[in-house]
Structure 1
């Protein structure tokens, strides 16, 4: 156990080679070097905040808007939401929302069991320790699998499994990194996800936050590349940029061709059993407007 990359009561988050964010840490709740990453949970101005490898993953203030953005638009576009696959999201909110939506089975895949359990112990949102124990024993709709996401996807295909919604809540993509999760953002994996979806299923993935917070000449390409990959793989695609949470820029794709996917999403909003707190019909209209780089 040790402090992350901090100077006194500050954490330095590298954004690019020439830009860094400084986070004031008012109270450190937990630090750990797990088998896979360096964790820090601390109280910041955004409330209790999770950092992995000095990168903020979610914070008490705004986490619901981020996690609803990852799942709700995709769930509204899908034909049904009986089986959901969530890769990442150590904190647990996305699997929990999927269960509230009425999913009969939610497979939650995370590579780092220590991170999942420490989040449950210290974060005031997401899983509680009791939730984790139930999910680990598959007692209820949420089933925790401690595994590499790519390995789980390959095995699911071999078993002939399929999902109505797949949510990728992975660490931010870094094309210059050798981290294995980067491959899961690639074209080959987009095609693999399509094979794992039911005919009316939907894939949801987020776009890297630093490119959104600090625009550069490369920012437009960081949006275009995954958008073009979705276009090469799926017959319908939707961009969703939350007005409630600046980090939440989501791209979703479906193998089912729909002439007006946003209209379908707005109509279905009143039909689902879950009432989003950060997304309504007008948000769906405005947040799905394509940025200029994608038009």
Structure 2
């Protein structure tokens, strides 16, 4: 299907279900070295698609990106250094700096996608933000690199982080998808080694079970939850009540008694109050779904 104004984009959800997105004005299309990028107006405003999969949209993106970072920031013992893998839009690194993080390593494999997002999305990096990040002139340092390679090198150097955010495309059923490895048990062990004591890993889960919860799709939710349990002392589930994409799993090596209570106590202490998360949301969004109980 040609990605042209007035056309429909077909997004596979599972073998027997697809979503159709009506495209209004198309801002750009590009086949980069890594993926097919489309930025277009939809009913959710300006929307980023990578390989026909929606990554973020103007109306709702803040809910998703705050959910990726803010609960992790509340669970972490300190908040000085952050690693973000993915997030071509640059939104999570910017949220981290608003909360006073001193050093953010932002790793993305696709420089063309990052620059297209900067040029066409009304959120995330501005051209000035991107220039500073590319030159390391501020808290954010942008690295155009394979996330797995960067993680291995960071571990070799002895780098440590207070929060690690995986903002990658969702785990793919295609076993050859390169980013799948970063959701594997071995990498969860590596992430734990990269964390400072009291540090937190934040990763999101796949949409199929969130949109169409059935017995067979529940495995996509249970598998990462079990893998995190095999590696970390404490896990927290966070499903935004406002956004279907914002289902986050948090993990920390420490064994924390009543982690949600601790997060709620720390919420008023944040350098900037989140715009989409309050005390009531923390209580409701962290309730463990039946598939994981």
Structure 1 residue runs of 4 or more that deviate by more than 6 Å after TM superposition: none
Q: Match of 2:124, SS?
A: coil
Which residue of structure 2 lines up, in the alignment, with residue 47 of structure 1?
A: 45
Q: 2:157 aligns with which of 156, 159, 163?
A: 159
Which residue of structure 2 lines up, in the alignment, with residue 33 of structure 1?
A: 31
Cα distance per residue 1:142-179 (max 9 Å; x no partner): 00000000000000000000000000000010133301
Root mean square deviation of aligned Cα: 1.3
C-alpha contact 1:86 1:107 (8 A) present in aligned 2: yes
C-alpha contact 2:13 2:207 (8 A) present in aligned 1: no
Q: What TM-score do you get using the length of structure 1 for normalisation? A: 0.97
What runs of 5+ residues in structure 1 fail to find an aligned partner?
A: none
How far apart are 1:224 and its partner, in Å?
1.1
How far apart are 1:58 and its partner, in Å?
0.2
- Cα distance in 1, alignment partners of residues 159 and 200 from structure 2: 15
Q: Match of 1:263, SS?
A: helix
Q: Match of 1:117, SS?
A: helix
How far apart are 1:21 and its partner, in Å?
0.9
Q: Match of 1:182, SS?
A: helix
Q: Match of 2:131, SS?
A: helix
How far apart are 1:107 and its partner, in Å?
0.3
Which residue of structure 1 lines up, in the alignment, with residue 216 of structure 2?
A: 218
C-alpha contact 1:3 1:40 (8 A) present in aligned 2: no
Cα distance per residue 1:190-242 (max 9 Å; x no partner): 00000000011000000011221122322221111111111110001100000
How far apart are 1:7 and its partner, in Å?
9.6
Q: Match of 2:268, SS?
A: coil
Q: 1:171 aligns with which of 159, 169, 172?
A: 169
Matches within 5 A, 1:27-176: 27-176=25-174
Matches within 5 A, 1:207-286: 207-286=205-284
Matches within 5 A, 1:6-21: 9-21=7-19
Aligned length: 293
How far apart are 1:134 and its partner, in Å?
0.6
Q: Match of 2:223, SS?
A: helix
Which residue of structure 2 lines up, in the alignment, with residue 292 of structure 1?
A: 290
Q: What TM-score do you get using the length of structure 2 for normalisation? A: 0.98
What runs of 5+ residues in structure 2 fail to find an aligned partner?
A: none
Which residue of structure 2 lines up, in the alignment, with residue 188 of structure 1?
A: 186
How far apart are 1:8 and its partner, in Å?
5.6
Q: Match of 1:140, SS?
A: coil
C-alpha contact 1:3 1:31 (8 A) present in aligned 2: no
- Cα distance in 2, alignment partners of residues 218 and 68 from structure 1: 29
C-alpha contact 2:6 2:24 (8 A) present in aligned 1: no
- Cα distance in 1, alignment partners of residues 242 and 193 from structure 2: 33
